[in-house]
Structure 1
Amino acid sequence: MLGRRRWMHMIASGIAISALSLGCSNKGGADGAGSGRSAANASEWKVGAYVSLSGEDTAFGTDSKEGIELAVEEINKAGGPKGKPIKILFEDDKSKPEEATNKVLQLIDRDHVIAILGEVASARSRAGGIVANKKKIPMITPSSTHPDVTKDRPFVFRACFTDDVQGRMGARFVVNELKKKKIALLFASDDLYSSGLATEFRDEAKKLGAEIVIEKKFLKKETNFTTYINEIKSANPEIIYAPIYYNAMAPIARQAKAAGVPGSMFMGGDGWDALELVRDAGEEMEGAYFTSHFAPDVPWPNSKDFVEKYKARYGGRTPSAIAAMAYDATRLLADAIGRAKADTPEAVRDAIAETKGFQGATGTINIDSERNADKPIVVVQIKNKQFTFHSAVGTNAPAQP
């Protein structure tokens, strides 16, 4: 998601381990494909899911698991694809790319899954995707948004939009809808998600005639942002674009309010989409906007249905965007298995690639030629310490009610 995507963190070791591991014995045969081909003779569809159930991103992993489990319950209650239930095999990658590599290998070579559901963080989805693609087992990541995750990997798909699209749509919303032309940028220079979104936003905003009046970069490890905030304030922008993670945005919002900069001055990306942000800085963030994949009060029938089912299943809790995307990815995969012309990983891959008009909780999804999801981007506004739906932009955006 949500870059959520410590892209550079340990990725070199993840790739190295994947290269070594791929040299191991392959139970699927000499062509490199996994043994999910036995699915035709099985009484169930075995699907692997690698998520962060421990480590620094446990919250994301837990949300993903809940979304997947809810979807599987519904799918199996309806009889399952082609009359066979789906069995999900979860593996904990411990929030580490090298563990993602190992877990995907296990799911394919040991468990013989027909398909894989991937990660939230792009670094881990990329590591796992290298293995899945080499083994020719289809993989769908619910919420990894870095463009490179699916690039040149014909067996790897995503159910979310990409960061380049999000950055451009964020700029169009700021310039065309909010009518802001004097913009400040505040982002983490050593984070690929943050700097990548800032670059896409900057380029599109300039094309639309806006001016970047000041640009301030910080390092992820920093905690004192007062100097940056005061410099931005002195530049007198109309809005501040801060495409960063929620755990950095919360202290920035508190320090900005102390400096006389209100939350309504900020615009962000899907890295804000964690309930911890409004828990820790909801008052300071009042009126701020950010682009994301979902909001709990999205006025679309499929979204409302998902929220009701999720609350009923999980004790009244409100679902996150991560849970909604995992739910959609699981249902999209089940739909493809049901449409596949054969009960093989290759046929399932082809069916995923042919997906058009899929009605998900996060909007209508079309899989494009690059295996990415062509779908709406939701604009969320923070009101009364809650994430609220403001509008939808981009391809397939429904008419506003």
Structure 2
Amino acid sequence: SYGSGVSIAAGDTFSAAQVPAIGVTCTNPQVTSDCDVYFRICFLDPFQGTVLANYAKNELKATKAYCLAKQGDDYSGGLANYFIKAFGEENCVYEQFPEGTSDFSTYITNAQQQGCDVFFSPVSLEAAAQIIAKAETQGLGMPILAGDTWDSNVVLEAAKGTSLNICVTTFYQEGVNAEFDAAIKEWINSDATAKTNNGGDDKLSAVTVMGYDVYCVALEAIKAADSADPAAVLAALPGVTYEGITGTISFNDIGDANRDSAVVKKCNTESGNWDFVTVAKVG
């Protein structure tokens, strides 16, 4: 499954049927903590929020952060809260926007008037593109940070040609596994529908690679169970260890992936690509 909100909502259904589910990039802790059949291969928002807060403080030298989340969105609000906790609530300005918001002018202005040093907004791609447009026209004047949802061709396209400084945390940087990248690009370029679904080009976002890894993890569980029976696969999943494209994947006692690092990358607004910054850990 993709996305925290829908994964949390589906948990009761999977649990009632005792059918195992594996999340791709659903980073909210509730996905697994509230469901006995859910696993995931991604890191969690408490970790991601801390990585982003540390990057803001240590690398960007920010002392005051503006945080903008979407009302009622489990991922957006959750990651914003973890960032605020790690950065220091007393040093953050926090606002939420309602469903249907398309003009972010007021929020950009508020961030500027509050004297903030960094703009953090873990939101959907639709909102991200709109925020980028307003940030450029209004001369935001501070770096923008976001979580894994911003790792997308949509963001690259929206930011290309702007003067913005945008960094995100994510799971993979294109180029780390050249053989895999080439094979996926070959497939994308051979299928017009796949290329359209990928944003019209063959650039790789981390969710594409994570989707491949989660598929392989599911296959490993089926092989370990020697059965496609849901109960057998559910029993086999905790013991699976898979050497994936995004790293070694294994699970802890509640089904969360044992991940201790995140890729930080920056939007190259000239080339329209992501530039690798660092691999970040906490502690």
Q: Same fold (TM over 0.5)?
A: yes
Per the alignment, residue 256 of structure 2 pairs with 372
**Is residue 247 of structure 2 the alignment partner of residue 363 of structure 1?**
yes
Per the alignment, residue 148 of structure 1 pairs with 30
Structure 1 regions of 5+ residues with no counterpart? 1-118, 396-401
Q: Matches of 1:172 and 1:195 in 2, distance apart?
A: 19
2:87 to 205, 208, 232: 205
Q: Matches of 1:331 and 1:258 in 2, distance apart?
A: 44
Q: Matches of 2:28 and 2:152 in 1, distance apart?
A: 19
RMSD: 2.5
Letter in 1 for 2:174: P
Per the alignment, residue 172 of structure 2 pairs with 294
3-state SS, counterpart of residue 367 of structure 1: coil
Letter in 2 for 1:362: T
Per the alignment, residue 220 of structure 2 pairs with 335
1:251/1:344 Cα in 2 relative to 1: closer, same or farther (>3 Å)? Answer: closer
Q: Matches of 1:123 and 1:217 in 2, distance apart?
A: 17
1:146/1:215 Cα in 2 relative to 1: closer, same or farther (>3 Å)? Answer: closer
Note the C-alpha offset of 1:305: 3.0
**Is residue 6 of structure 2 the alignment partner of residue 139 of structure 1?**
no
Letter in 1 for 2:139: G
Matched positions, count: 269
Per the alignment, residue 351 of structure 1 pairs with 236
1:190/1:279 Cα in 2 relative to 1: closer, same or farther (>3 Å)? Answer: same
Note the C-alpha offset of 1:205: 0.8
Larger Rg, first or second structure (1 or 2): 1
3-state SS, counterpart of residue 216 of structure 1: strand
Per the alignment, residue 45 of structure 2 pairs with 163
Q: Matches of 1:322 and 1:285 in 2, distance apart?
A: 26
1:130/1:189 Cα in 2 relative to 1: closer, same or farther (>3 Å)? Answer: closer
Letter in 2 for 1:314: I
Does the CA contact (< 8 Å) of 1:191 and 1:220 recur in 2? no
3-state SS, counterpart of residue 140 of structure 1: strand
Letter in 1 for 2:144: F
Note the C-alpha offset of 1:382: 0.2
Does the CA contact (< 8 Å) of 1:168 and 1:200 recur in 2? yes
**Is residue 204 of structure 2 the alignment partner of residue 326 of structure 1?**
no
Per the alignment, residue 274 of structure 2 pairs with 387
Residue deviations 1:163-205 (CA, integer Å, cap 9, x gap)? 2322122112222333322222122233222111111100011
Per the alignment, residue 116 of structure 1 pairs with none
TM-score, length of structure 2 as denominator length = 0.84
Q: Matches of 2:103 and 2:173 in 1, distance apart?
A: 30
Per the alignment, residue 102 of structure 2 pairs with 223
Identity of aligned residues (%): 27
Residue deviations 1:124-170 (CA, integer Å, cap 9, x gap)? 33344433322223221222222222224332211112223221221
Note the C-alpha offset of 1:315: 1.1
**Is residue 161 of structure 2 the alignment partner of residue 283 of structure 1?**
yes
Letter in 2 for 1:149: V
Residue deviations 1:59-88 (CA, integer Å, cap 9, x gap)? xxxxxxxxxxxxxxxxxxxxxxxxxxxxxx
Per the alignment, residue 241 of structure 1 pairs with 120
Note the C-alpha offset of 1:222: 1.6
Structure 2 regions of 5+ residues with no counterpart? 191-201
**Is residue 73 of structure 2 the alignment partner of residue 191 of structure 1?**
yes
Q: Matches of 2:149 and 2:161 in 1, distance apart?
A: 19
3-state SS, counterpart of residue 250 of structure 2: strand
TM-score, length of structure 1 as denominator length = 0.61
Q: Matches of 1:192 and 1:129 in 2, distance apart?
A: 14
Note the C-alpha offset of 1:388: 2.6
Per the alignment, residue 67 of structure 1 pairs with none
Q: Structure 2 matches for 1:57-68, cutoff 5 A?
A: none
Q: Matches of 1:172 and 1:391 in 2, distance apart?
A: 13
Per the alignment, residue 198 of structure 2 pairs with none
Per the alignment, residue 107 of structure 1 pairs with none
1:166/1:337 Cα in 2 relative to 1: closer, same or farther (>3 Å)? Answer: same
Q: Matches of 1:373 and 1:246 in 2, distance apart?
A: 25
Q: Matches of 1:279 and 1:266 in 2, distance apart?
A: 16
Q: Matches of 2:99 and 2:159 in 1, distance apart?
A: 19
Q: Structure 2 matches for 1:233-272, cutoff 5 A?
A: 233-262=112-141, 265-272=143-150
Q: Matches of 2:34 and 2:68 in 1, distance apart?
A: 32
3-state SS, counterpart of residue 95 of structure 2: strand
